[in-house]
Amino acid sequence: MKPFFLAILVIGFVFTTSFNTTFTDVYICKGPYSKKYHYDKDCRGLSNCSTSIYKVTLSDAKQMGRTLCGHED
């Protein structure tokens, strides 16, 4: 049974890694000049956001053409 469980673990790890982008949450501002996404919702890049701060997945943020905030590289 042991190799079986090991295989499940390995498959689970590969799955998690390759789908990481889909399930990682990031924060965005929807103001007219916002083109970035943020891992930290308290980031200073979000402090002057004129709209609410929205939580989206990293893949959604990338589909919106967002790039990583310059304060968080």
Binding site for Zn ion (CB under 5 A): 38, 43, 45, 69, 71-72
> From the CB of 40, what's the least distance to Zn ion, in Å?
6
Contact 24, 57 (CB under 8 A): yes
CA proximity to 47, closest of 65, 29, 64, 60: 29
CA angle 3, 7, 9 (to 5 degrees): 115
- The residue number with the shortest CB distance to Zn ion is 69
> From the CB of 53, what's the least distance to Zn ion, in Å?
11
> From the CB of 19, what's the least distance to Zn ion, in Å?
23
